[in-house]
Structure 1
């Protein structure tokens, strides 16, 4: 395969391949020299099953010298096969062939179940785990299993506490690169995930998923004590304080404590005087949303359940 680069090239007289360096041609010629001199011996050793060629680095042995040579490249790190497009180099010709799919866009390996196609056979094999539900990679600490070894590797950070991905802006660190990527939107203000119902946008896909429950009315998180259900896991966690009596959120001004952070936030307005909730009819402002709701009854004439006002705001 000849590529005209305008530079001096070295031609293989056997197969026609050209190389930009004479050293690369010399390395390449080993393939042909080996094929010619070892052909008869290779045929004999293959038929007999003998493995007469031993690796000088480990205890592996091979029936063909060419296979031994390929194997020893894994020890030496030598990379004889180079990509003429991006100059990446590989120790195996087959690896170079697979790499070329990146440039050609060829996806020769197709899933017989859903039709998805892949450039690498290994990627197809991983994809098939989605259909089979197979999770061959297990955590030795907690027993969780995963379809990909890379996911298991990320999971291990939860046990080690390792957070190798750091934000260059604020220094926050994360166990997963995807978490860092999501965190960066705090700094950039990017909100790529949009609600198709109301148009609200979010920085995190999980936030959009939680928001959608407002429209669907879905409440998948249930209290095992009283059966109350919630659209968000955090809301359930806050609700549990009702049963335990725990009030972990304390006011730094007066010392009052609350079972939920949102209640503390409402309470703080007593000290700050902030009244962010406005009546669109008369312009009156209130520190709490519930107070505004009660006030609206004066305009509508509706009789409200005033006794339901939260005592823990005070």
Structure 2
């Protein structure tokens, strides 16, 4: 009996678990990240399970067999459709323990948590930039290649991503599909709406590590940090004065514009007076 049990047992060399079924053992073995037996014949990417490979191949074929009955969007995998449906019903099962924000997917939560920890695990191989999300790194890499494959048929502007082109098209159509449920304002992008909502909630998730000042937008925090570093990246081309923010430089430039306009008006008045004197001299 013991010999029979030994014959039917399968031990995992990675974690030591024992299985009586060969099929279960093989499925378990694929759970270890270093074991990816299924490779894509098109791009060489490897996967832990055959079903994951099957979904991946649809990227190359363009096949999207799972469609949303509410909006018509289609997806390569059933899990992608499931996540998409959560957005329609407002289901956000993954909550942040730090700020109570909630998300539709676990990966979105993980990316969000990095805004609190400051972790940026995705570095650029060309420059020293690092990112909290892989998608942000991918988008950044386009800067170095200079490739912008998505072009606007109206004005010819080109973009690195299809989603950026889609947002850009709202400028031409005037469409603002993202509406605030608190007030009547609407926005062209979801991110713009999210920033706007923070006005109503008073949320300021971006905190300065030097003085603990908090801000609703990451760009505001970035500008604030220049106060501590003393860096003034925006310089005046007229008098070389430097500023921490572009808006401050813009205000400063008005002084030069106003001074130039005043000088022109004074010169105009001077020329007018000279013409009057000449005309008066001719009458004598």
TM-score, normalization: structure 2?
0.49
**Which structure's CA Rg is the greater one?**
1
TM-score, normalization: structure 1?
0.45
